[in-house]
Structure 1
Amino acid sequence: MSHRLLTGRVVIATHNAGKLVEIRELLAPFGVEAVSAGELNLPEPEETGTMFAENAAIKALAAATASGLPAFADDSGLCVDALDGAPGLFSARWAGPGKDFSGAMARIAEELDRRGATNRRAHFVSALVIAWPDGHTELFEGRVFGDLVQPRGVAGFGYDPMFRPDGFDRTFGEISSEEKHGVDWQSGNALSHRARAFVSLAAACLRRPA
């Protein structure tokens, strides 16, 4: 499959400040100018997909059509094994309109206790889609596995404080932004789900400036 090269200016189709920071930092080494959907006052489309990839495509295509620029969207979430993959696609909705992720993390703990679940395995999923105004799209996905613990740390955002990735004794809430989504471009190694998806995206659609 041939991929389309992304250059120049791109819209990041998100109104999530934490996600915006991460994506901008990932794009920075490639000389791509990034403007957010919020900065362009673009509306948020209704996410009607049944998979992360579908929702990412809905957001990217809506932003590309409205702006006339290539658009970059992420749809991601936390999937808890003992909750049959919940909150999954509804990770943001569990936090409610006020984006109360402390409450969402408490809800997960309550649901696990209610089920008498001892299994604390979970994983984050990220689906990244680039869409062009002509309807062309590119999809890349990444996952990171770990365990749920008592929330710790104030770094990151969302469910980060309760997620301890495999091989670490710290949660995403205790890991610096650089360590969480930094990429070793020689090896291609990355920690977070979003960074892992971005490694594949960069290999296919981005070129570092000379």
Structure 2
Amino acid sequence: MQVLVASRNRKKLGELERVLAAAGVRGIELLTLRDVAEYPETPETGATFEENALIKARDGVRYAGLPTVADDSGLCVDALNGMPGVLSARWSGGKNSPVLSDHDDVDAANNALLLAQTADVPADRRGAAFVSACALVLPAELAARTGLDAENTVRGTWAGTLLTAPQGDNGFGYDPLFAPAEEPGRSSAELAPERKDELSHRGRALAQLVPMLQTLSRVGD
């Protein structure tokens, strides 16, 4: 059974591959947006992570005709009243941001801006959490065959603190700035992939999709 992961980020694909392997799920072939014909992507205008994940997953079903997994995730910082939140990926303004001209990529620009905004926040107020909402949307016929809901969403949360400087070279996004509660003093960009899968917001959300993906894998038998 082919399942589309509505992303071009192969690290996200790798996370789901490892989660499925750890759960012993076979018979699922994961594809990314790089593997299907290009299609117009609906702007992510949702007010919640779940709404944005559903927007992306619905597009995959509509245009590629495949069951589609999509996630929307971000960093919620206590001192910023939960921001960047759903704006995490474009916190510095996106690809056309003037902040980007001073940095190598959007991730670096986002991180630099967040550090500047929280530079004076004391250690006891640097609480933060990564949040991931994952959606699994199925073509109507497949939902009827499997008995699964056509639209499904799950959420995973990973609590920790915001560091004052980047640490580590693994991961992506805000990983170098986030110290998990389970690994004090270390950033999520310093964790082995397997440890990150075990703890992370996305890993926790994806794990909740495993029973549904297991059902899909049996359809392909």
- Out of 134, 139, 150, the residue aligned to residue 133 of structure 1 is 139
Equivalence for 1:84: 81
Distance in 1 (CA, whole Å) between partners of 2:188 and 2:84 is: 18
TM-score by length of 1: 0.84
Distance in 2 (CA, whole Å) between partners of 1:57 and 1:108 is: 27
Q: Which amino acid aligns with 1:87?
A: P
Distance in 1 (CA, whole Å) between partners of 2:40 and 2:5 is: 13
Equivalence for 1:185: none
Say if 2:2 and 2:66, in contact at 8 Å, map to a contact too: yes
Distance in 1 (CA, whole Å) between partners of 2:7 and 2:192 is: 22
Equivalence for 1:164: 179
Equivalence for 2:146: none
Say if 2:154 and 2:208, in contact at 8 Å, map to a contact too: yes
Q: Which protein has the bigger helix share?
A: 2
The structure number with the bigger radius of gyration is: 2
Distance in 1 (CA, whole Å) between partners of 2:159 and 2:139 is: 34
Say if 1:61 and 1:133, in contact at 8 Å, map to a contact too: no
- Out of 142, 157, 160, the residue aligned to residue 143 of structure 1 is 157
Alignment pair present for 1:117 and 2:121? yes
Let me know the Cα RMSD of the aligned residues: 2.1
Say if 1:122 and 1:148, in contact at 8 Å, map to a contact too: yes
Sequence identity percentage? 39
Helix, strand or coil at the partner of 1:91: helix
Instruction: Give 1:30 deviation, angstroms.
Output: 1.5
Structure 1 spans left out of the alignment, 5+ residues:
1-7, 182-189
Q: Which amino acid aligns with 1:177?
A: P
Helix, strand or coil at the partner of 1:14: coil
Equivalence for 1:11: 4
Alignment pair present for 1:21 and 2:18? no
TM-score by length of 2: 0.80
Equivalence for 2:35: 39
Say if 2:134 and 2:153, in contact at 8 Å, map to a contact too: yes
The 1:205–1:23 alpha-carbon spacing in structure 2 relative to 1, beyond 3 Å, is: closer
Instruction: Give 1:19 deviation, angstroms.
Output: 1.9
Say if 2:57 and 2:136, in contact at 8 Å, map to a contact too: yes
Q: Which amino acid aligns with 1:155?
A: N
Residue-pair matches, total: 193
Deviations 1:120-168 (A, max 9, x none): 1100001011001228111111000001112100011111011010021
The 1:69–1:204 alpha-carbon spacing in structure 2 relative to 1, beyond 3 Å, is: closer
